[in-house]
Structure 1
Amino acid sequence: MINAQKYSAGSIIKHLLVLLLVVIWTLPTLGLLISSVRDKDQLIISGWWTALSSTETNNFYRTATAEGQIENNGVFVISGDFFAESQRGEVLAWGERPTSVDEFEPDTTSTLNDGSRLTVNADGTFRWESDEPFTHRSGKRIFFVEAQAPRFTLENYKNVLAAEGIGPSFVNTMTVTLPATFIPIMIAAFAAYALAWMQFPGRLFLLAVMVGLIVVPLQMSLIPILRSYNILGNAFGFDPRNYVGIWLAHTGFGLPLAIYLLRNYMAGLPKEIMESARMDGASHFKIFVTIVLPLSFPALASFAIFQFLWVWNDLLVASVFLGQGEGKTVLTQQLRELLGSRGQNWEVLTAGAFVSIVVPLVVFLSMQRYFVRGLLAGSVKGG
């Protein structure tokens, strides 16, 4: 018997809303992917949603000077082609002035003021004829409307991968990310067990402080922490902007959420297992290592994914606590440098985005089965 509730109006609306959210979240990524393989010139003038349609632009071509004329049966001719072989297009209209770029249809001949005749064809070739020798010293400009067929290329990816500094910045990012992921997990796991299963004065107050720290904006703490680093650096004679400094910074920013999630997950573990272990004489450390950690792997994996993605894609914290220079520039900073001082090379950002997400994507796909399960369990369980 078919369950009527399965096809109820509420169920259909729920599934449609989920589908709508998936589409909303997927469209920007799809647009980024399409933009990363589009031709640079077409990417600048049109959006990714027009990638499969022809692109119309106004352009101009400067002919050869009088030195390039050829005499043919008493007629002096200058000819040429608007398009390069690698970027063939179609002429939709043309004109002699930029204000009248659509004055003539292609494959038509216009008589100019000096009596010469100019013919522009749809394929971009032109022929300029005169009964008298040409004497102009600079080329004549011909304005036209061109339609370019969609062009896709991997040139953007080649430019990113071949750019100077991408390899070292990739290594620097890995050097920052791995310790900044494992250190807060290790500390948070011990703290979460203590808050969940150990009785000591002020336990609930510490838990409340941890929850409160989650909502503290990251930007508010950057300058105070950096000033503290500088004071310590001046006192002990070391450069505070190093890898240890950024590891500690990411650890501090990630600990509140990590402790909250892991504590709630550990507090929901079966109490009978803990009591049996204590009756067998196991210490808190042994219970933590042999029982709690293996059972908490989904929560640990979910936070590891979250922290890894955050640190890998970070730009602000790396700029403040690590800076730039040899052995310090991370991948996000290097990609920003490729944009140029005025952002004129922004097309590399689309390809660079996908180059930078290769490692996080591998990490997420390899551990994604634990992500939702551990995150949700840590959000609803409590004790």
Structure 2
Amino acid sequence: MSSIAGSKSGLTWAVHLSVLALVLLWLFPTVGLFISSFRTADQISTSGWWNALFPAEQGLVLRTGTAADQVQDGNLFVVSGNLFADNDENTDATISTWGTSSRDISAYEPGETADLGDDGRLTVGANGDYRLESDAELTSRRGERVFVTAKTPPEFTLQNYERILFSGSTTDSMAKAFFNTLTVTIPATVIPIVIAAFAAYALAWMRFPGRALLIAAVVALLVVPLQLALIPLLRLHLGIGIGKGYLGVWLAHTGFGLPLAVYLLRNYMVGLPRDIIENAKVDGATDFQIFTKIILPLSFPALASFAIFQFLWTWNDLLVAKVFLIDATGETTVMTNQIVELLGTRGGNWEILATAAFVSIAVPLVVFFAMQRYLVRGLLAGSVK
């Protein structure tokens, strides 16, 4: 019975597990990037994103108040306060151990008193409250250094996004690069779709000499690496005066995307019912009317499928932007290039890099999930008769 047509394969469970594994492999880094974009630098450096909802233990080097803060209490000179508040740290943290020397940072428990010799005696509580007292007047201008091991509660912040999007800094801000990327991506997606739709209709339904050779040429261009055409195309653009600008990068993306667009749309249009086109011609419709009123509406799944591919490829592109959109002033810098520059200037600021990376992938995620129902239909275009 297992060989009867229509029965489920015994390997269905393996397929489901494989799909689940692929989904998780894609989902984990994305979720981790999203969570990290809301975390502070200290939390990112002390614990992984999967521990973002749990208290994290970290070591801090804090200082007490200075001699200028001392008050006289009877025969004692006292400096008191809160280590976290005085050092602009998280006041909700809880101290587990502390010390006054880097050689033994866990010498004391909260509530115990450390003898500092001529500098007096220091007592630190679990909540960070401290009391430094001395029999003689204090003279230190820097305060006593305290090594603290503290558990900090989960903390999320929007400051990373404020810094990336609204700081106004040319080195950190992604706002300008975001709009530059939109300026590149939208025309570079629309232009090849418009040209490829006309070409695909001609190759699918119009009879003219050399049509088979054109189809073969389109298929052959699919396997040509774009790296081979970068330098010749750039020299052509510079020769006619459109290099190093938006027009040049639009035309470059259009040329590199057209073979896939024509191939995909042509395969889909060939599979449309022939009776509809023939009946329209009998009724006196021109090729342009058939194309605009019949073919285009029926070809929307294929158009959307290519739009997803072209948008994602153009949005995430760095190579073409580096070659055709060089700008020393940063006026036309795209997001991928801005992130590369951040790696150089903010390589240690993981919270900034995580936020910039998630801002970069947010729009492609929205586009993909909004149009993914058309993706499979477009990919299967012409594969089954």
Asked if TM exceeds 0.5, the reply is yes
Structure 1 residue runs without a partner (length 5+) = 234-238
Which residue of structure 1 lines up, in the alignment, with residue 378 of structure 2? 374
Measured in 1, the distance between the counterparts of 2:141 and 2:332 equals: 54
Which residue of structure 2 lines up, in the alignment, with residue 142 of structure 1? 146
* Distance change in 2, residues 1:178/1:137 (3 Å): closer
Which residue of structure 1 lines up, in the alignment, with residue 300 of structure 2? 297
Q: Deviations over 1:307-342 (max 9, x none)?
A: 123223333322321223465233444555566624
SS of 1:226's partner is helix
Number of positions where the alignment pairs a residue of Structure 1 with one of Structure 2: 372
Q: CA deviation at 1:6?
A: 8.2
Note if 1:173 corresponds to 2:181: yes
* Distance change in 2, residues 1:218/1:122 (3 Å): farther
TM-score (structure 2 length as normaliser): 0.84
Contact 1:79/1:126 (<8 A) preserved: yes
SS of 1:259's partner is helix
Note if 1:195 corresponds to 2:203: yes
Note if 1:215 corresponds to 2:223: yes
1:119 to 111, 115, 123: 123
Note if 1:39 corresponds to 2:47: no
Which residue of structure 1 lines up, in the alignment, with residue 265 of structure 2? 262
Q: Which letter does structure 2 place at the counterpart of 1:230?
A: L
Q: Which moved more, 1:222-231 or 1:119-128?
A: 222-231
Structure 2 residue runs without a partner (length 5+) = 1-5
Note if 1:25 corresponds to 2:26: yes
Question: Sequence identity, in percent?
Answer: 55
SS of 1:369's partner is helix
Q: Deviations over 1:1-57 (max 9, x none)?
A: xxxx98875223322222222222111111111112222321233321110122222
Contact 1:338/1:345 (<8 A) preserved: no
Contact 2:160/2:351 (<8 A) preserved: yes
Q: CA deviation at 1:128?
A: 2.2
Contact 2:115/2:121 (<8 A) preserved: yes
Contact 2:97/2:110 (<8 A) preserved: yes
Which residue of structure 2 lines up, in the alignment, with residue 75 of structure 1? 76
Which residue of structure 2 lines up, in the alignment, with residue 272 of structure 1? 275
Contact 1:265/1:381 (<8 A) preserved: no
SS of 1:372's partner is helix
Q: Which letter does structure 2 place at the counterpart of 1:20?
A: A
Q: CA deviation at 1:207?
A: 2.8
Which residue of structure 2 lines up, in the alignment, with residue 323 of structure 1? 326
Q: Which letter does structure 2 place at the counterpart of 1:253?
A: F
Q: Which moved more, 1:139-148 or 1:347-356?
A: 347-356
Matches within 5 A, 1:51-130: 51-84=52-85, 87-88=90-91, 89-114=93-118, 116-130=120-134
Q: Which letter does structure 1 place at the counterpart of 2:261?
A: A
Q: CA deviation at 1:144?
A: 1.8
Contact 1:196/1:267 (<8 A) preserved: yes
Note if 1:206 corresponds to 2:214: yes
SS of 1:122's partner is coil
2:192 to 160, 165, 184: 184
Q: Which moved more, 1:298-307 or 1:62-71?
A: 62-71
Measured in 1, the distance between the counterparts of 2:213 and 2:317 equals: 31
Q: Which letter does structure 1 place at the counterpart of 2:231?
A: I
Measured in 1, the distance between the counterparts of 2:64 and 2:281 equals: 92
* Distance change in 2, residues 1:205/1:97 (3 Å): farther
SS of 2:106's partner is coil
Contact 2:81/2:130 (<8 A) preserved: yes
Q: CA deviation at 1:166?
A: 4.8
Q: CA deviation at 1:201?
A: 4.7
Q: Which moved more, 1:334-343 or 1:98-107?
A: 334-343
Measured in 2, the distance between the counterparts of 1:76 and 1:192 equals: 88
Q: Which letter does structure 1 place at the counterpart of 2:291?
A: F
Q: CA deviation at 1:381?
A: 4.5
Measured in 2, the distance between the counterparts of 1:291 and 1:155 equals: 51
* Distance change in 2, residues 1:280/1:94 (3 Å): same
Q: Which letter does structure 2 place at the counterpart of 1:90?
A: T
Which residue of structure 2 lines up, in the alignment, with residue 236 of structure 1? none
Contact 2:164/2:175 (<8 A) preserved: no
Q: CA deviation at 1:220?
A: 3.9
Q: CA deviation at 1:272?
A: 3.4
* Distance change in 2, residues 1:295/1:68 (3 Å): closer
Contact 2:67/2:138 (<8 A) preserved: yes
Measured in 1, the distance between the counterparts of 2:62 and 2:300 equals: 65
Measured in 1, the distance between the counterparts of 2:9 and 2:283 equals: 54
Measured in 2, the distance between the counterparts of 1:299 and 1:7 equals: 30
2:239 to 219, 224, 231: 231
Q: CA deviation at 1:111?
A: 2.3
Measured in 2, the distance between the counterparts of 1:173 and 1:87 equals: 37
Note if 1:49 corresponds to 2:57: no
Measured in 2, the distance between the counterparts of 1:137 and 1:358 equals: 49
Q: CA deviation at 1:286?
A: 4.2
TM-score (structure 1 length as normaliser): 0.85
SS of 1:377's partner is coil
